Amino acid sequence: MSLYSAVKPLLFRLPAETAHATVHAGLRTLQRTPFLSTVDDALSVESSRLRVRAFDNTFPTPVGVAAGFDKNAEIPRALDALGFGHVEVGGVTADQQDGNPRPRMFRLREDDAIVNRMGFNNDGADAVGRRLREQPLPDSPVGVNIGKSKAADDAPADYRYTYERVADAGDYFVVNVSSPNTPGLRDLQHRDHLEAIFAELLDAGASPLLVKFSPDLSRDAIADGVALAEELGLDGIVATNTTTERDDSLRSPARFEQGGLSGKPLQERATSLVRFVAERTDLPVVGVGGVFTAEDAYEKIRNGASVVQLYTGLVYRGPTIARDINQGLLELLDRDGFDTIEDAVGADL
């Protein structure tokens, strides 16, 4: 039995957000101790076969932490030590925001899923930017997910303000226009709004710049967004964010909670969208949604994802998940006769 198997039932007795804060506090403590290197040695899988080059970054492994887990850029080194190949912090907004009223995060235990309606709670761009500049960061890439402040009327200017506060420390930047928990945010996914936001950020020098789409967008709208990203010279696409839709197969009573659904129920849909995007562009794709195992990650990679991200899987599988996936990916590469993980990207297209 793993340590997490013993601790997990205790954590799951706590409200979901309280448990997250508890884990977060533990990782902050770990990050300040000499034991961080011991954890790194135990959980990092070092192999040149797993190295990925995408949007001007080199990722030691293709498995990263999705935005939302470390909203305020407090524990990137601790997450790196768990064996992840990159960490995406945020979403960060120009304004400090408390987010939506609690409770706002719910486990769907029977479904290996989470529903959240956090509402971009974060310390704000000034504080997060300062934290990124002042603390030591891992050698692996640190991305910054940028969202719109709830009170902002001028979205392009709001995104630019945030970018300029985090620009010096981020290795890549993701325009988040797809969270379901900020009123009106998803309207910005349409072409005219996107073009204004991208133009403002590109004028500010944002690079590498990616955009994150919702799985709830129509395929025509996603194709239009991908085409715009190519036209304007963006560097990648993140597919996907959480979904507000609910499948009839969900069993947990919490399925009726409002907010974005993540985890296993999103897995097939997210992989399908990764494939849809990869078939329409040569831009690198970041695959997000329902990654729990090496097989889950490998499926997204074979369908066109250069790297993958997870959040809910970390909650349900615990701190060894990156190591387990990376070890499993090496076995899958051997099985299928690929020399490197880059050789497997898009193999099923």
Q: Is 68 part of any known ligand binding site?
A: yes
Please pick, among 44, 179, 262, 306, the residue that the annotation labels catalytic: 179
Q: Is 93 part of any known ligand binding site?
A: no
Q: Among residues 20, 140, 143, which one has the least CA distance to residue 82?
A: 140
Q: Is 120 part of any known ligand binding site?
A: yes
Q: Is 303 part of any known ligand binding site?
A: no
Q: Is 70 part of any known ligand binding site?
A: yes
Catalytic, 179? Answer: yes
Q: Is 111 part of any known ligand binding site?
A: no
Name the residue with tokens 């309280």. 18
Q: Is 69 part of any known ligand binding site?
A: yes
Q: Is 119 part of any known ligand binding site?
A: yes
Q: Is 57 part of any known ligand binding site?
A: no
| Contact between residue 84 and residue 134 where contact means Cβ atoms under 8 Å apart | no
Q: Is 80 part of any known ligand binding site?
A: no
Q: Is 143 part of any known ligand binding site?
A: no
Q: Is 205 part of any known ligand binding site?
A: no
CA 289 to chain centroid, in Å, comes to 9
Q: Is 326 part of any known ligand binding site?
A: no
Q: Is 116 part of any known ligand binding site?
A: yes
Q: Is 41 part of any known ligand binding site?
A: no
Residues contributing to the annotated binding site for FMN? 67-71, 91, 145, 176, 212, 240, 263, 290, 311-312
Residues contributing to the annotated binding site for substrate? 71, 116-120, 176, 181, 241-242
Q: Which residues are designated catalytic?
A: 179
Residues contributing to the annotated binding site? 67-71, 91, 116-120, 145, 176, 181, 212, 240-242, 263, 290, 311-312
